[in-house]
Amino acid sequence: MSKRKLDIAVISDVHLGTYGCHADELELYLKSIAPDLLIINGDFIDGWQFSKRYFPLSHTRVLQRILKMMSYGTRVVYVTGNHDEMLRQYSGFKLENFAIEDKLLLEIDGKKFWFFHGDVFDMTMRHAKWIAKLGGFGYDILIILNRFANKILERLGREKYSFSKTVKDSVKLALKHINQFETTVAEIAVDNGYDYVVCGHIHEPVIKEFENRKGSVTYLNSGDWIENLTSLEYLEGEWSVYRFDRAELAERDFADTIEIGGTLEIAALAARII
C-alpha cells in the first residue's frame, strides 16, 4: 500500500534510550509516510538518561527507518533539544540530505517559519538544570510503573491509563508553566516578524493563534512519543496534528521491511557521541 505523501512532518521528544519511548509506534508511523522534509525537533535521543544497557532493537529500528527515508529522498533536519544538547557542538553539520541545526528558519508559501525545540525559554532549564534532570529521572520511573499497570489493565480488559498525563493535566502549576511557555514563545515570534513558530519540549501537541498589539502568530507544538504519540503534518498549505492510531495503521501493509545489520551497533555509536 502506498505511503501518505506529505510536504513536511515534524516529530519531537521521542527520547530514544528511555523506557517511556514508544519506538514501535513511531517506526510504524514513519513507515506510513513519505514527507519531502522530516524535522526532528529536539530530544530525539535522550542523552540525560542514556545507557548502553538499554537501547532495544525497536529503538534501533527507528534510526534505521529514518536512514531509509533519507535513501528514498526525504530531507532530514535534526534540530537539537536539551536532552540531546551534546549534539549542539555539531550545529551546522550537513551531509547530503541530512543536517543538524539549533534552529531552522524557513519560508513556506510566502510565510516565515521558526522551528526550534523551545528549552531556551524554559526558566527551569536556564537556572536550575539539575532540578530538570532530577524531574526527568522521576518521570521515567513513573512511565515504567505506568506501563506495568497498563499491562494489568489490558489483561483485565480495561482501558489504559496515563499517570503522568493525568498528573500534568491536574496540577495547576504545570498548566501555568505550559501557558507561560506558549505565550513567551509566541510573543518573541511576533517581535521577530515570524508568521509561524514550531516547538516541542513541553509534550503538549497543539495548533493555536496568538495575537497582541504588535501582531499575530500561529504557534504549533508537535507533542511527543512518550504520552501523546503525535506529530505535526503539513500538506498543501494546511497544518494538522497527527495522533497515532495503531488500529488504522495495522490494517495497512506497506511491504517495507528493514534489515538490521549485525555489525551496526547503534547503541555503542550513540554512547560515543553522548
pLDDT tens for each residue of 35-47: 999 999 999 998 8
Residue 10's pLDDT band, with cuts at 50, 70 and 90, is very high
How confident is the prediction for the chain on average, in pLDDT?
82
Instruction: Decide if pLDDT at 264 tops 60.
Output: no
Q: What is the model's pLDDT at position 111?
A: 96
User: Across residues 97-113, what is the average pLDDT?
Assistant: 96
Residue 131's pLDDT band, with cuts at 50, 70 and 90, is very low
Judged by DSSP in three states, 69 sits in helix
Domain CATH number, residue 229: 3.60.21.10
Which residues face 37 on adjacent strands?
8, 75
CB atoms within 10 A of CB 26: 23
Judged by DSSP in three states, 171 sits in coil
Are the beta carbons of 82 and 125 closer than 8 angstroms? Answer: yes
> Regarding beta strands 111-115 and 196-199, do their DSSP bridges make them parallel or antiparallel, or are they unpaired?
parallel
- The type of residue at 215 is G
CA distance 254 to 82: 34
User: Across residues 236-246, what is the average pLDDT?
Assistant: 95
Number of domains in the chain: 1
Work out the burial of residue 40: count CB atoms within 10 Å of its CB; fewer than 13 is exposed, 13-18 middle, 19 or more buried.
Answer: buried
User: Across residues 189-210, what is the average pLDDT?
Assistant: 96
User: Which helix (DSSP H) or strand (DSSP E) does residue 95 occupy?
Assistant: strand 94-95
Nearest by Cα to 181 from 126, 233, 227, 229 = 126
Instruction: Decide if pLDDT at 129 tops 50.
Output: no
Instruction: Decide if pLDDT at 143 tops 70.
Output: no
CA distance 137 to 135: 5
Instruction: Decide if pLDDT at 257 tops 60.
Output: yes
CA distance 149 to 229: 19
Phi first, then psi, for residue 231 (nearest 5°) are -145, 170
pLDDT tens for each residue of 208-240: 999 999 999 999 999 999 989 999 999 999 999
DSSP H helices in 91-171:
123-127, 129-155, 163-170
Sheet holding 98-101, edge to edge: 94-95, 98-101, 75-79, 33-41, 4-11, 230-235, 238-243
Fill in the DSSP letter of residue 89. Answer: G
User: Across residues 240-250, what is the average pLDDT?
Assistant: 90
Which residues face 99 on adjacent strands?
77, 94
Judged by DSSP in three states, 211 sits in strand
pTM metric for this prediction = 0.79
pLDDT tens for each residue of 89-104: 999 999 999 999 999 9
Radius of gyration of the chain (CA): 18
Q: What is the model's pLDDT at position 46?
A: 87
Are the beta carbons of 243 and 227 closer than 8 angstroms? Answer: no
Containing domain of residue 222, as a range?
A: 4-273
Helix, strand, coil percent values for the chain (each to nearest 5): 40, 25, 35
